[in-house]
Structure 1
C-alpha cells in the first residue's frame, strides 16, 4: 500500500454553519463541497459508519485550509446523546487540530481580538526535540480544542539528525 499522506480529518459539529463561518472567517478556509442529506437506511449507518441506526447525516461540508489536510465537517441528527461533552486531550479519543501559521504570537492576538477563547500562551520551546516551536491552544465555539504553531526552521529533533516532519509551509 502506498500512502500519499493525510487527505482529511473528519469530525462532527453541533452547528455546521457556525463551524464553517469560524474556519472560513478566521482561518481562511474555502468550502469545497456540501452533500446535503445523506439518504440511507439505519443498517447502512450502523454497518458502514459505526453509529446508531437512528443517526442520520444531515450534511457534510469539506473545507480546505491552506496547504494541508482537508476538514470534513459533519452535521448529524438522531443521536441519543447529541450534547455529550467533548473528550479532553488527556482522554482516549481526545484530539486537537493544529494549524501552522507564520507568526503564532500575532495569530493568537488576532484570534483573541475576534473573541476566540485562546488559552495561555503562546509558548516558545527553547530546548529539546521541539526546540524552535511556538504553540498555543484555543477553543472553537463548540469547545473543540485547536492549536496554532509556528517555527522558524527545523525543530531540535531534526537539527539533531532525526527525520524531518512534514510542514505545509515547505510543501
Structure 2
C-alpha cells in the first residue's frame, strides 16, 4: 500500500525532499516515454515510519491512454474542467 500525491513541479518537490535526512527516495523521478502513459512523471519515497509515498505529475486530457477508454486518472480539483484553484 502507498499514498499518492499529484505535484505540479515534481523535480522541485524531489529537490526539496532530498534535502531532508529523514526521507529516502526509492528511485529518481521517472518519465514514462511511449505507450499509454507517455508524459507521466513519477517517483517513490519512503517516510521514516515506513509509509511509501508516490509523487505523480501528468497532464489530464493529454495522456495517450485516454484515446482508448473513457476511464481517467483522477486529477486534483484545480486541474478538472471548471475546477477552482
Q: TM-score range by the shorter chain?
A: 0.7 to 0.9
Give the gaps of 5 or more residues in structure 2: 81-85
Give the gaps of 5 or more residues in structure 1: 1-94
Matching residue of 1:156? 64
Distance in 1 separating the partners of 2:31 and 2:75: 18
What SS does the corresponding residue of 1:132 show, helix, strand or coil?
coil
Q: Are 2:15 and 1:99 equivalent residues in the alignment?
A: no
What SS does the corresponding residue of 1:130 show, helix, strand or coil?
coil
1:108-143 Cα deviation digits (max 9, x unpaired)? 111111221112210000111111100000011111
Distance in 1 separating the partners of 2:54 and 2:3: 6
Distance in 2 separating the partners of 1:145 and 1:131: 23
Structure of greater Rg: 1
Q: Are 2:51 and 1:144 equivalent residues in the alignment?
A: yes
Q: Are 2:79 and 1:170 equivalent residues in the alignment?
A: yes
